[in-house]
Structure 1
Amino acid sequence: MTEQGVRWTAEQVLALAPDEASRKAGGRLGGGGPWSQTGGSASGAVWGLCKGSGSKPYRTVVDLTGPAYNCSCPSRKFPCKHALGLLLLWAAEGLGDPAEAPDWAEQWLAGRAAKAARPAAAAAGPVDAEAARKRAERRAERIGAGVTELEQRLVDLLRGGIAGQQQAGYAPWEEAAARMVDAQAPGLAAQVRELGAIPGCGPGWPARMLEEFALLHLLDRGWLGVSGLPEPLAATVRSRVGLPSPAEGEAVRDHWLVLAQYDSVSPDGRLTTRRIWLRGLESGRPALVLDFGPPGRPPALALPVGLVLEAEARFRPGSAGLRADLGDRTAAAVPAARTPPGVGTGEALEAYGAALREDPWLDSWPVVLGPVIPIPGEGGEGAWQLADAQGTSALPVALAAGRSRSGLWQLAALSGGGPVTVFGECGHRGFTPLTAWQPGSAEPVALA
């Protein structure tokens, strides 16, 4: 079967939509009515002309190896509704036998191929090593001063007590975060902003704030003594403080299964972070790919859950070996042929504990659990659990910030009281389910 012939599902296509409006508009273009001159290549590209309101049809082409999109419409959304409609048409009906791309599509595809083949070094200018060293030293000094100031602030708060933090409001923490930005420590700034939101998070907030104080103090001490730390831990400290981590770590070429994808918005609403979880089918290694979107625009990278893509993942130093950047993808992504193997709840906790040795600030670790049975809380509103189907142990379910309980009921309906395989994040607050599979089915269900 050709690459173009291995089609995605409509759900996987719609998962690429940047927003609900695009999802609906793309769905209306998923039939053959507005399309002409559609086709696809054996190398993993599809194209077509879509009739619009103007005299000329829109030229739309999608490179399935990205996926990447190009359309002559004026929309600034990626993918636009025409790209979504073309992919839905391809997913439902196929686009015939592999063919040669028309000139307008081939020109864009050839440009992508040429850009991918261009050596990275050719794009980079000459590096002044001495100037770079001096800049790094100046930044380290500013971060050190910011860390010392932050430590003093934490000491003062603990001496005076934290009971008044609810009345103090968010402003003092925003001011402290701004000081960390001035110190060129954006990672510390983000953590300080999160502290300001804790007093309003409900019962038990003082204990949670003390926990976060302890972790922040540990990071501060780690930075002040970073020169004496083992290099993997030192790289983690630098990354947590906010220094950019070079993408020059271990490279792993594998077939990567997309396990989950979800977005989160920063407390100030200025940045959307997309987290994409992958798992190497040969290596078994987890990988976290991050992409970011500025205000008003979603992140550009979108990988539908359940697809398998062949690529090289280059892992960044630190971050418990999770953070990775995807290299060139030379073949179109294809649906997974089977459900990923799962582990028991005890093994999941052991994996998280082992990861904490490399990154003490790690909130969670990616785990495929299975087979497990979701157990609703008392009255349906209490604490949910995921229990081993063949055992007596279970993990409490933790909802991520901003996520509703609808995903839990979706999981319960999928299970029907029986065992399922679930992928999610296992951490100190419990297990957050993100994707589930029914027994015997390779088709994933992304949980709301």
Structure 2
Amino acid sequence: MARPGSWPECGTVAADGGGTSAVWGECKGSGSKPYLAAVHLDGGEGPAYKCSCPSRKIPCKHVLALLALWSGGEVEKRDEKPEWVNSWLSGRAARKQRAAVAAATPVDPEKVAATLRAREETVAAGIEELRVWLNDQVDSGLAEVPRLEYGHWDRMAKRLVDAKAGGAAGLVTMLPQRGGGEHWPDRVLERLGLLHLLVDGYLSRDGVDERTRAVLRSRVGISTRTEEVLSSGERVKDTWRVLGHREGLTPDGMRLLRTWLRGAESDRWALTLTFFRPGESPEPPFRGGIEVEGELAFHPDGLRAVRTDAMTERPVSRPEGGDVEAALDSYALALAADPWLEAWPVVLEAAAPAREERWYLADRNGAALPMDTATLWSHLAVTGGRPATVAAEWSPRTGLTPMTLWDEDGKATVL
């Protein structure tokens, strides 16, 4: 693919101070339309990549081929560039400028508090209606669930969306997803219980600290704007190891990319979320396989974070890991703070794949957790089945999904 003939249209964009700011190209594919690929080289936050192909790899093979051509001197400077390149670079510049302005502009705390109070009143009315609806579901009994059409659940979800409680609406839409097997009543009851816990916690006025209140707001669907986080959020300076990315879906069909980071000194976890439409390539704030030195601004829930400024990048060093027991203890603490967590990052030391009816990842003590096989063969190809330090995302429903591996010499491989 890294041949001039595969790229009938390509070029570079000059930087203000000389050199190359961006590389772009249109690669011939199997379809009638070419793949549109571009790399922003001097955006102040490390390289950024864009491609119209559906690959989940970041960067994808088209971007790598384009960079290979450019590094070999096969891509020439072009005075004019396509509109899609202009739009992408302009959008990146605008977002960077907005972030800089937001960081420099103080937020009026009284105005923010008033806006939040008004939003919470609207949401509270919807959550109160949800409480009554949940009681009706329990009164009707779980035996009725298989007979219910999807519209039964969708009506309540739409009512919550109207009340600006999109997070709670997403939990309602999950209720009819029973799955097969004889244990579906357990799964439905669990989801009803989590919804009841959310309702009870959100409507409670006593005994809820500010951090828990922030988690509840986030889970019902009250988000904090990035500008507010950059202006007044808690800031933590550290060397942040990027331990991996995992892709998922939102209830409304949007795709999201979770990026997990861990502070080398603070030992604190941080999560960044990147939302994108199906068919688009995400633009995460951090690449895999690196660590960055600088500040992160945290949302009120204390977990989700925002990149604040340019950071120093270098290859990621091996983090300290633990055994399976320590990983589950970490997950239990996180679940106590946020019972609606879908996944949690863990780092296992000297962990190796093992098979007994299904695949597991076992520590040196023989304790093991089931593996999601999405990255299994890449894992085996890299390690040969030998023990390694593994950064993975843990979910009781899907198991462990390895994201990054470190061999005995400390070399990192992003899966």
Alignment TM-score, normalising by the size of structure 2 = 0.77
Equivalent of 2:324, from 334, 345, 354? Answer: 345
Unaligned runs of 5+ in 1: 1-24, 96-100, 400-404
Equivalent of 1:414 in 382, 397, 407? 382
Q: Which amino acid aligns with 1:408?
A: L
Residue of structure 1 in register with 2:275 after alignment: 292
Pair 33,330 (structure 1): closer, same or farther in 2 beyond 3 Å: farther
Q: Which residue of 2 aligns with 1:195?
A: 175
CA 256–40 in structure 1, closer or farther in 2 if over 3 Å, else same: farther
Per the alignment, do residues 28 and 353 of structure 1 end up closer, same or farther by CA in structure 2, a change over 3 Å counting? farther
Separation in 1 of the partners of 2:277 and 2:38?
27
Match of 1:435 in 2: 404
Matched, 1:313 2:296: yes
Q: Equivalent of 1:250, from 217, 234, 243?
A: 234
Instruction: Tell me whether 1:155 sits opposite 2:135 in the alignment.
Output: yes
Per the alignment, residue 9 of structure 1 pairs with none
Task: After superposition, give the CA deviation of every residue in 1:369-424 in whole Å (9 maximum; x if it has no partner).
Answer: 1111211232xxx3x222112x1322233x3xxxxx34223323434332122111
Instruction: Map 1:316-335 to 2 at 5 A.
Output: 316-318=299-301, 321-331=302-312, 333-335=313-315
Q: Is the 8 A contact 2:297 2:308 kept in 1?
A: yes
Higher mean C-alpha deviation, range 339-348 or range 245-254: 245-254
Match of 1:388 in 2: 363
Q: CA deviation at 1:277?
A: 1.1
2:391 is equivalent to residue 423 of structure 1: yes
Q: Aligned-pair distance for 1:428?
A: 4.1
**Displacement of 1:59 after TM fit?**
10
Q: Aligned partners of 2:162, 2:26: CA distance in 1, in Å? A: 51
> How far, CA to CA, are the matches of 1:281 and 1:174 in structure 2?
44
Greater shift after overlay, 177-186 or 152-161? 152-161
C-alpha distance in structure 2 between counterparts of 1:94 and 1:309, whole Å: 30
Q: How many aligned positions are there?
A: 389
Q: How far, CA to CA, are the matches of 1:112 and 1:41 in structure 2?
A: 17
Task: Tell me the residue number matched to 1:275.
Answer: 258
1:259 and 2:259 are equivalent in the alignment:
no
Cα distance in 2 for partners of 1:59, 1:263 equals 22
Q: CA RMSD in A?
A: 4.4
Output the amino acid matched with 2:392: G
Q: Could you tell me the percent identity over the aligned residues?
A: 36
Q: Residue in 2 aligned with 1:5?
A: none
Look up the equivalent residue of 2:303 and give its one-letter code: L
Amino acid at match of 1:115: Q
Q: Alpha-carbon deviations, 1:52-80, whole Å to 9, x = none?
A: 99xxxx99752264245599x999x9989
CA distance in 1, matches of 2:80, 2:27: 18
Identify the residue that residue 3 of structure 1 maps to in structure 2.
Answer: none
Q: Is 2:12–2:21's contact at 8 Å kept on the other side of the alignment? A: no
Larger deviation: 80-89 or 257-266?
Answer: 80-89
Deviations 1:132-170 (A, max 9, x none): 655544432322221122122222212222233233232
SS at match of 2:143: coil
**CA distance, structure 1, for counterparts of residue 25 and residue 351 of structure 2:** 46
Q: What amino acid is aligned across from residue 290 of structure 2 in structure 1? A: L
The 3-state SS of whatever aligns with 2:345 is strand
Contact residue 36 and residue 50 of structure 1 kept, 8 A: yes
Structure 2 residue aligned with 1:377: 356
Structure 2 CA distance for partners of 1:84 and 1:226, relative to 1, 3 Å: farther
Return the alpha-carbon distance in structure 2 between the equivalents of residues 315 and 362 of structure 1: 17
Contact 2:40 2:48 in 1 (8 A): yes
Q: Against the structure 1 CA distance between its residues 367 and 88, is the aligned structure 2 distance closer, same or farther, given a 3 Å change threshold? A: farther
Contact 1:226-1:234 within 8 A present in 2 as well: no
Partner of 2:146: 166
Task: Answer whether contact 1:185 1:243 (CA < 8 A) is retained.
Answer: yes
